[in-house]
């Protein structure tokens, strides 16, 4: 879960530089970015260990509205967050309080391994590259910051 915390810190750095876009083909996406700007800023800025999970619905909406050239990147990010959410849910673990170094009593080795694998994927270079690509696309095409 420490990887999730590290990724949360990385996302805290990456997300503030993401921007919304302008242009006729980008309007729905840019509108969604603008609509969620304050809420996403609050979530990411909270520093909560489960901030990425709390932002999942927003990320899903942005994924749904995303222009074709960034759908793969959004898929990578959303799928990775969903996998961690599912692993935690299947294990009956509260994401806000889970500590890998001190797992809850009764957590099976199998559940712990699933959580670790999902956290590793979320913190992987592939997912981080997807976030960087989203950041670059937003800066190149869009003008409204994703977060304040």
Beta carbons within 10 angstroms of residue 92's beta carbon: 10
Res. 123 pLDDT band, cuts 50 70 90: very high
Contact 56, 8 (CB under 8 A): no
Beta carbons within 10 angstroms of residue 128's beta carbon: 18
Tell me the domains of the chain and their CATH numbers: 2-145 (1.20.1420)
Query: Is 15 in a helix, a strand, or coil?
Result: helix
Query: Residue 41's pLDDT is what?
Result: 83
Q: Is 93 left (phi over 0), alpha (psi -120 to 50) or beta?
A: beta
Q: Which residue has the higher pLDDT, 19 or 35?
A: 35
Query: Is 91 in a helix, a strand, or coil?
Result: helix
Instruction: Tell me the whole-structure pTM to 2 decimals.
Output: 0.79
Closest CA to 89 of 53, 62, 57, 141: 53
Helix (H) or strand (E) run with residue 144 in it: strand 142-145
- Percentage of the chain lying above the pLDDT 90 cut: 51
Name the most confidently modeled range: 2-6, 24-28, 52-56, 108-112: 108-112
Closest CA to 4 of 108, 92, 134, 121: 121
pLDDT digits (tens, 9 = 90+) for 73-120: 999 999 999 999 999 999 999 999 999 899 999 999 999 999 999 999
Res. 148 pLDDT band, cuts 50 70 90: low
């Amino acid at each position: 879960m420490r990887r999730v915390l590290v990724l949360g810190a990385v996302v805290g750095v990456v997300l503030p530089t993401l921007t919304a876009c302008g242009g006729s083909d980008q309007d729905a996406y840019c509108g969604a970015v603008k609509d969620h700007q304050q809420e996403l800023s609050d979530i990411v800025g909270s520093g909560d260990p489960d901030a990425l999970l709390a932002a999942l619905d927003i990320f899903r909406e942005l994924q749904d509205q995303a222009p074709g050239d960034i759908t793969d990147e959004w898929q990578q990010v959303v799928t990775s967050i969903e996998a961690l959410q599912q692993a935690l849910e299947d294990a009956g673990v509260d994401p806000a309080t889970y500590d890998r170094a001190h797992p809850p009593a009764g957590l099976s080795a199998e559940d712990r391994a699933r959580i670790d694998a999902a956290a590793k994927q979320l913190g992987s270079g592939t997912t981080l590259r997807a976030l960087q690509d989203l950041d670059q696309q937003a800066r190149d095409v869009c003008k409204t910051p994703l977060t304040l």
